[in-house]
Chains A and B, each alone.
Chain A
Amino acid sequence: MKVGFPSQEKALRAASVAALVALALMVWSFLDPSPLAMVVAMSVGQGLGTLSLLLFLGVVAVDIVRNRGSKPE
């Protein structure tokens, strides 16, 4: 139906996987609060988490713009 759908889904699946990794890293740092776990969670973990959210917001924004543009046509 929509042209962009497969890549859209791919992006969201990638975001979901990234977020799962980020969550796992954060939980690891709670259970084993060594300096290494802490730094990995706060850099890689929170970085991946932020990226996944941005990816999601980007996909939703594109989706909204596209739907709006397609209606008048």
Chain B
Amino acid sequence: MLDVSQQSVAYLQPVMITAAIVCALLAAGLLIWYLLRRPPLDWRTKILLLCGLGVLPIGTAMMGNAATFKHTQERAFCGSCHVMGPYLEDSSDPTSLSLAARHGRNEYFGKQNCYACHQDYGMYGTVMTKVGGMRHVWEYYTEYHAYTLDQAREKIHLRDPFTNANCTGCHSMNNPGWRGQPDHAQLLDELLDAKVSCLGAGCHGPSHPFSKDPVPPPSAEDAGGAR
């Protein structure tokens, strides 16, 4: 019954998703029983309906949220809207030298690299960012869906400027190797106060070179300032 393909949440979180579906089936059983039998509203019916309308569906929603939350961090999920295709392709290309792709190779978060760098907004985290992620999907289906890839590259940009905290959450700025790097050393105070961006020409930008390039395709020359 479960579709256990590589893309399915059931593949990633089998136990949680199975439990969520079992809750849903039990709840559905109770509700169908109520609809067909039309029992009077005595205390027994109230308790059964409390399970069918309250406890069990809440269980489904909570376990489902927990499981799908993981799934939405996957690069493949980000790339499933076609306008993100080139980003997905670039990050999955083992020869790409873009900064994003170079963050897509380690075992720890390589498969969730979009999330790793873009997690302060969008699809992730708290209720607020969940709402933000819904906006992305809404905008996709109302607007970007019809875009060609060229239009998408031209029109889709970050809503808020990228903050250094998105990089420094991992790159702590505290290690000797990092501090010894001449540009870092020279700008240390500004970097620690986030007055100077990690991105930009001569530093670590752009992360997705092809998205800034008026002419396709993504070239391997722009290494995004690897140091």
Contacts and interface: CB of A to CB of B under 8 A. Distances in A.
Given A8-B41, A26-B60, A31-B10, A38 B53 contact: no
Task: Place the interface of chain A in its size category.
Answer: 35 or more
B41 A23 contact: no
Task: Place the interface of chain B in its size category.
Answer: 35 or more
Interface in A5-62: 5, 8-9, 12-13, 15-17, 19-20, 22-23, 26-27, 29-36, 38-39, 41-43, 45-46, 49, 52-53, 56, 59-60
Contacts, number: 104
B196 interface: no
Identify whether the interface residues of A are mostly helix, strand, loop, or mixed. Answer: helix
Nearest to A56: B53
A27 B41 contact: no
Contacts of B80: 34-35
Interface string B175-215: 00000000000000000000000000000000000000000
A19 B3 contact: no
A12 B57 contact: no
A29, A36, A39 — most chain B CB neighbours (10 Å): A39
Given A20-B28, A38-B68, A33 B77 contact: yes
12 contacts: A16-B31, A16-B35, A16-B52, A30-B10, A30-B17, A31-B2, A31-B8, A35-B140, A41-B64, A42-B134, A53-B58, A63-B41
